[in-house]
Chain A
Amino acid sequence: GQQLNQSPQSMFIQEGEDVSMNCTSSSIFNTWLWYKQDPGEGPVLLIALYKAGELTSNGRLTAQFGITRKDSFLNISASIPSDVGIYFCAGFWETSGSRLTFGEGTQLTVNP
C-alpha cells in the first residue's frame, strides 16, 4: 500500500536554532501541504506546494516540493518558543482525489 513517512518524530531544540523535517512518500504526490497543530486546536495550513521543485517561504518557514514528487521538507529558521507544536506534512496522491493523507507528525519543543 501507499505509505507516507515523516521524520523526525520529535525534536528538542534551543531557541534560535534552525529546524528541518521531511516527508517521503512511496508514490507520487500532486500536492504537498505543511500544517502546524497547537494543543487543543486543529491543524493550520502553513505552506502549500503544487509543483515539483517549487520552493516557497512563509516568514521563517521554507518548504520545497521534491523533484521526484515523492518528498518534501520544511525548514524553520531562528526558532522561537511559539514554534512549539506538532508539524504535519500532508498531500494528495495522484489517485486519491481529495483524500488528504497525513504524515505521522513531528513534535517540536523549543527551549527558551
Chain B
Amino acid sequence: DTAVSQTPKYLVTQMGNDKSIKCEQNLGHDTMYWYKQDSKKFLKIMFSYNNKELIINETVPNRFSPKSPDKAHLNLHINSLELGDSAVYFCASSLQGYGYTFGSGTRLTVV
C-alpha cells in the first residue's frame, strides 16, 4: 500500500484553467503538507494542515487553495493557472512532525 498517494502524477493544462491535485495518506498521521519543487529542484513549503486546520500558509498566491476534508486527505485547487505555476507539487504527511513522508509528486505543466 502506498503511504502517501497523490493524483494525478502528470497534469498538462492551458493557462487560465482551474485544476485540482488530490492527496491521501494511510499512515494515521495528523499533519499534511503541500510543497512546491521548482525547476532548480528547490523544495518549499506552501501549506500545512493539522487535523483539518490550516496551520501554515506561506506566501502563496490566492489562486492556490488547499482543502482538507479529513485528516487523511489534503487537496490543492489552483485557479486561473499561469505559466509560472509549472512545477512539481509534493504532498507530505507527519505525526507531530515525526515520520515526515512524501508522495511521489504531481508534475504540473501549464502551456
Which residues of A are in contact with B by a Cβ distance under 8 Å?
A: 31, 33, 35, 37, 40-45, 86, 88, 90, 92, 97-102, 104-105, 107
- Chain A residues near B96: list those with CB within 8 A: 98
Chain A: which residue is nearest B30 at the CB level? A98
A98, closest chain B residue (CB):
B97
Instruction: Encode contact with A along B38-58: 1 for CB under 8 Å, 0 otherwise.
Output: 001111110010100001100
CB <8 Å contact, B43 and A99: no
Does chain A have a CB within 8 A of B13? no
CB closest residue in chain A, given B99: A45
The interface stretch among B60-68, B74-82, B102-110 is: B102-110
* A109 to B: closest C-beta gap in Å: 14
Q: What mask results when residues 84 to 111 of chain B are scored 1 for a CB within 8 Å of chain A, else 0?
A: 0000001010101100111111000000
